[in-house]
């Protein structure tokens, strides 16, 4: 029996999303066609858009469907008029690389040892730079779970006539995410982090903000994203959002239980960002001397799926740029393991993880003592 605890990489598809996708696959029309079949397809797309918009506290025309979170972030950073970009040091690689590819001046915002952005440093960057800035700060970090003060970022940006993009991919479905209350200009979300299908997401754009299409060649999505809409994926996205809203999971108890098991086990375990508000489903930890690739293989052999951080590196276990930015030692970055809970996680899953960890940690400590 396998235990899946890597929901921050992707969450297993919810039954509701699967059912919605299968029903949508029965539709024959292109949503841009004017005949009856096309109108039925268009109605499903627009119903889904409206449902996702309501969940995000915005209006339907602000929601642009994309191929996922990475595309949404790329469009936000590359297709909005700005003279310079300010990105936090702990952003997802899609944001960091999109910023570099934009051809604009890129300034990196530092973070504290707990993985929270430095607001005074942001104020200084905004005050001392030339031209209009676009600031990109995630709502919650995908590796440590650290929640960022996005509303404070928006307040600072307003003082300097700057725009704000928020990558909420990891937060949506785990925290309340309200576009209007956050006050940002652009917001990126993705379906597969909350139990929807892979390969579909959305970019929410403040009403009236000009944004060029990243993909050209058609008038879809109000000319903001060309290409025939993936109707089945969009329907699955909306169904997953609906299910997440009706059956909102409370991960705090399971998170506490998991961290208690880490603390009571062999060795001195460090939990990253433990001193600040975090996603209720995420635990990133390290045991000194136990490298992540060794731990991941041991867990996998025990039937448990966890990760070492971002799942966007072709399966490679690499030192985390997030932990480096937090000032963690090289040894700690090489030892970091991420456990992330989701809609399908049970107490039994956490118990199996705890039992496995006790064995893995005990073996490591025994080898270290014998060395």
Which two three-digit tokens encode residue 303?
A: 């039937």
Which two three-digit tokens encode residue 288?
A: 């000194």
* Residue 65 and residue 198 in contact, taking contact as beta carbons nearer than 8 Å: no
Reported as type and span, the H/E element at residue 261 is helix 252-264
Reported as type and span, the H/E element at residue 188 is strand 186-190
Burial tier of 279 (Cβ tally within 10 Å: 0-12, 13-18, 19+): buried
Rounded to an integer, what distance in angstroms lies between the CA atom of residue 301 and that of residue 359?
Answer: 12
> Which residues, in sequence order, are CB contacts of 91 under 8 Å at separation 6+?
136, 137, 138, 167
94 classed as catalytic: no
The active-site residue, picked from 79, 94, 284, 312, is 312
Only one residue has tokens 């235990």, namely 3
Reported as type and span, the H/E element at residue 38 is helix 36-55
Rounded to an integer, what distance in angstroms lies between the CA atom of residue 53 and that of residue 63?
Answer: 6
Residue 367, Cβ neighbours under 10 Å: how many? 11
Rounded to an integer, what distance in angstroms lies between the CA atom of residue 153 and that of residue 57?
Answer: 19
| Secondary structure, 3-state, 354-368 | HHHHHHHHHHHHHHH
Q: Report the sign of the C-alpha dihedral through residues 101, 237, 15, 144, in that order.
A: positive
Rounded to an integer, what distance in angstroms lies between the CA atom of residue 157 and that of residue 135?
Answer: 8
* Residue 1 and residue 306 in contact, taking contact as beta carbons nearer than 8 Å: no
Active site members: 312
């Amino acid at each position: 029996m396998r235990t899946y605890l890597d929901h921050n990489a992707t969450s297993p598809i919810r039954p509701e999303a699967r059912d919605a996708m299968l029903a949508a696959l029965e539709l024959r029309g292109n949503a841009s066609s004017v005949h009856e079949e096309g109108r039925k397809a268009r109605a499903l797309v627009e119903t889904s858009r409206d449902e996702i918009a309501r969940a995000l506290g915005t209006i339907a025309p602000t929601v642009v469907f994309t191929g996922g979170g990475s595309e949404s972030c790329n469009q936000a950073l590359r297709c909005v008029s700005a003279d310079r970009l300010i990105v936090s040091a702990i952003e997802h690689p899609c944001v960091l690389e999109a910023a570099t590819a934009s051809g604009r001046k890129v300034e990196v915002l530092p973070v504290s040892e707990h993985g929270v952005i430095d607001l005074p440093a942001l104020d200084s960057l905004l005050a001392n730079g030339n031209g209009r800035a676009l600031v990109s700060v995630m709502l919650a970090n995908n590796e440590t779970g650290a929640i960022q003060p996005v509303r404070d970022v928006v307040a600072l940006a307003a003082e300097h006539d700057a725009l704000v993009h928020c990558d909420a991919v990891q937060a949506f479905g785990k925290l309340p995410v309200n576009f209007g209350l956050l006050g940002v200009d652009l917001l990126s979300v993705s379906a597969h982090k909350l139990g929807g299908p892979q390969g579909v997401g959305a970019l929410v754009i403040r009403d009236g903000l000009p944004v060029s299409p990243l993909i050209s060649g058609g008038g879809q999505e109000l000319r903001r994203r060309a290409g025939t809409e993936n109707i089945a994926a969009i329907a699955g996205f909306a169904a997953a959002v609906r299910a997440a809203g009706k059956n909102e999971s409370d991960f705090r108890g399971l998170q506490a239980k998991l961290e208690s098991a880490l603390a009571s086990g062999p060795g001195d375990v460090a939990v990253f960002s433990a001193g600040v508000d975090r996603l209720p489903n995420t635990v990133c930890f390290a045991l000194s001397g136990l490298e992540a690739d060794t731990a991941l293989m041991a867990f996998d052999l025990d039937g448990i799926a966890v990760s070492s951080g971002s799942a966007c590196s072709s399966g490679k276990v690499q030192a985390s740029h997030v932990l480096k930015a937090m000032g963690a030692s090289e040894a700690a970055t090489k030892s970091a393991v991420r456990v992330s809970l989701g809609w399908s996680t049970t107490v039994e899953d956490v118990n199996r993880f705890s039992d496995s960890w006790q064995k893995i940690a005990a073996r490591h400590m025994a080898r270290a003592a014998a060395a």
